[in-house]
Amino acid sequence: MKGLAHFVMRGYSQAALVASVSALLSILMPLLGLISSATVGLVTLRKGARPGVLLMLSSTLAAGLFAFLGLGSPWPALGMLLIFWLPVWLLSVVLRFGRSLDFTVQLAGIGGLMLVLGMHLLVGDPTAYWQTLLEPVRQSLVKDGLIEAGSSQTLFAEMGRWMTGAFAAGLVLQTLVGLFLARWWQAVLFNPGGFGIEFRALGVGRVAGAAFLALLAWVLIGHGSGIAAGLLPVLGALLLLQGLAVAHGVRQLYGAPRGWLVGLYVLMVLFMPQMGLLVACLGLVDVGLDIRGRVARRASKSG
């Protein structure tokens, strides 16, 4: 990965090549989209907003050309600009000048909440919108005998209820992970260990924690749960990141092996969403109790 970061920093043509090709290949291998986002993020963090814009423009042109030659249409490049590059560029500009990872993550969360509210304003009833989109999938599953017709109605109605929030939370997480990768690349090249210190101290704030609890109560009570069900996953995504920061911070304070973290991420992959909820709960507890601060004080006393 360090070699790839070096290659990206060699010039605009190299960076545009990595950004455009990895974005197009993400159609087949979605994780490559993070490489594409991180490329724009690294250039913006290191060189500034204007070079980041120039890279986005050149990457869009290159991706449009590749898409036209391979897919017969240049329009996928516009989607890549809006999904992979523009959000991470905005956050990279904020992080470059504000130098606060906490504030940048909070701003990404606000963007996700605004996306949910915008969908409610534009669509009116996002649940019905998602149910319409998912209906062909439901009918196909019923036709193939993979699910019963009666239970499928209830299941897909519940899925439609949560899809707006899941979409917004997924976009927030994708953008932030791309930003984190860019920040890590920057640290590897120019400030070894810097990103680790930043991430282990990450906190999304008590306002986010209180809002999450209020929305959770709103959903459980059932009043206005449509919009609350959309907003809740976005705040949950922020708490998930704080929970991971807690895990990294506590491991570092105790000097535990890195394999402990590897095991955590493997469990998250194998047992999502259960492990994701558990880690988010850890982040929520940390908002109120400051787990890392307590462990650090205890370690200093014992040391």
Could you give the CA distance from residue 124 to residue 117 in angstroms, rounded to a whole number? 10
User: Across the 303 residues of the chain, what is the mean pLDDT of every consecutive 10-residue run?
Assistant: 90 92 89 94 96 94 88 86 94 95 96 93 83 82 74 78 90 96 96 93 94 90 76 95 95 89 92 91 93 85 64
Angle between helices 206-221 and 274-289 (to 10 degrees): 130
Classified as helix, coil or strand, 7 is: helix
266 within 8 A of 191, measured Cβ to Cβ: no
Domain residue limits, the chain: 1-98, 100-303
Token reading at 264: 């955590």
pLDDT of residue 76: 86
H or E segment at 202?
none
- DSSP one-letter code for 28: T
Could you give the CA distance from residue 68 to residue 21 in angstroms, rounded to a whole number? 13
92 within 8 A of 105, measured Cβ to Cβ: no
